[in-house]
């Protein structure tokens, strides 16, 4: 569900944006996130909300997102985090959606710790520096 104030709705109308999805008929562009049909440095902002955890090659997807992001641009890349998990769970051998539902209670391919996803973002080029994180 998306709830927008009147002010934000007016702001959205002034934006030039492109929606991308591999399956949705509502998307402006039908494309694989691992092979985007855009030139390098094309977008000022990227919003990728809970997509990467469904992509078997999430590292390639992050590299593609970074490739199409303009220098100085910014991205919001949301993935599920489990604050109680000490280690990221990812098992690429589980390809059957029903088995993923049984093991992960979802069709996702991984559940991350905060540190793991930050390292992945840095590896793709999104972060310049990582600081150690203290555990509470």
Q: What is the pLDDT of residue 110?
A: 53
The structural domains of the chain, with segments of one domain joined by +, span 33-124
What is the phi/psi pair of residue 62, to 5°? -65, -40
pLDDT of amino acid 61? 92
10-residue mean pLDDT series, the chain (136 residues): 50 80 90 95 89 84 92 83 66 73 59 63 70 43
pLDDT score, position 53 = 79
Cα separation, 105 vs 21, in Å, equals 23
Q: What is the CATH number of domain 33-124?
A: 3.40.50.150
pLDDT given at position 66: 92
The confidence score (pLDDT) of residue 13 equals: 72
């Amino acid at each position: 569900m998306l709830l927008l104030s009147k002010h934000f709705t007016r702001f959205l109308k002034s934006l030039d944006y492109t929606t991308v999805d591999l399956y949705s008929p509502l998307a402006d562009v039908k494309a694989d996130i691992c092979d985007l049909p855009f030139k390098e440095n094309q977008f000022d902002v990227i919003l990728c909300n809970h997509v990467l955890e469904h992509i078997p090659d999430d590292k390639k997807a992050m590299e593609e997102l970074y490739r199409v992001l303009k220098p100085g641009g910014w991205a919001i890349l949301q993935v599920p985090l489990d604050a109680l998990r000490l280690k990221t769970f990812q098992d690429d051998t589980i390809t059957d959606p029903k088995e993923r539902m049984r093991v992960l209670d979802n069709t996702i391919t991984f559940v991350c710790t905060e540190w793991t996803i930050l390292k992945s973002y840095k590896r793709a080029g999104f972060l310049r520096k990582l600081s150690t994180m203290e555990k509470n």
